Chain A
């Protein structure tokens, strides 16, 4: 049962990830990427990481993808007339990523510990209580530094995206 669910979610994730790359319209790419993120959240639930599944949905599907869609609508890119690379470069890109996949799978097949390992279906380390305890004891300093990072990113974004010319409203 869980194995069938795993196959279904993997198929959905890989198919929609391919559609992100190959769909012509950027809006469709964003929507397919949202499907991929939902499938990955399903994988997190299968691995008993419920907290991460919820955070993943909120942060990625809720915030980051809305930001992408907003920028696409703002820049008016929702048309299918964007320039494409020529066919030789596309072929080279496909060959390169295929070779990377072969190298990754070949190196993973050479490792020894992977043959016996299983995802334990009743693990309790992924619940909110346990993760919160670890986050606020062992990882307290990185947690605070992450807040500084987000503050710096916010200030930087406002500085970057600020218009240099004064906008005349009456025009």
Chain B
């Protein structure tokens, strides 16, 4: 019998590690991976509440989040390859031309 708040805390920790990675690193691929980590933290808490409330809708939402994450990763990595072709780097500090 696992209390549901344990899953909430674990998910909060994983989400914070994802935010830490986005703020900490400069490599765009690592930033993508940390976004995946945040999506998975949210998925975890959705499955926990789906089990707790005995409602299958939460697990269906997780299924759709996985589909959207797959599409997002494919498009994001394509953009990354395109920027690498132009700048020869995946450093996000090069891509600062949109800054005010």
Q: Report A's interface with B, CB cutoff 8 A.
A: 2-3, 6, 10, 13-14, 17-18, 20-21, 26, 29-30, 33, 36-37, 40, 43-44, 46-49, 51-52, 55-56, 59-60, 63-64, 67-68, 71-72, 74-75, 77, 82-85, 90, 92-94, 96-98, 100-101, 104-105, 108, 114-115, 117-121, 123, 125-126, 130-131, 134-135, 138-139, 142, 146, 149-150, 152-154, 156-157, 160-161, 163
Please give 15 more A-B residue pairs, beta carbons under 8 A apart, in addition to A20-B17, A97-B16, A138-B57: A2-B1, A14-B13, A20-B33, A26-B29, A29-B30, A43-B10, A49-B50, A60-B69, A67-B73, A84-B25, A119-B3, A125-B55, A126-B59, A157-B75, A160-B78
Inter-chain residue pair count (beta carbon < 8 A): 233
What A residues does B55 contact at CB under 8 A? 125
* Interface contact B2-A46, CB-CB below 8 Å: yes
Once the chains are docked, how many angstroms separate the CA of A157 from the CA of B39? 21
Do A149 and B67 form a contact, CB below 8 Å, given A85-B24, A123-B51?
A: yes
What A residues does B40 contact at CB under 8 A? 36-37, 40, 60
Do A119 and B52 form a contact, CB below 8 Å, given A72-B29, A157-B78?
A: yes
* Interface contact B70-A49, CB-CB below 8 Å: no
* Interface contact B17-A84, CB-CB below 8 Å: no
Which of A20, A97, A125 meets B30, CB within 8 Å? A20
Q: Report B's interface with A, CB cutoff 8 A.
A: 1-10, 12-21, 23-27, 29-30, 32-34, 36-37, 40, 43-44, 47-48, 50-52, 54-57, 59-60, 62-64, 66-75, 77-82, 84-85, 90-91, 93
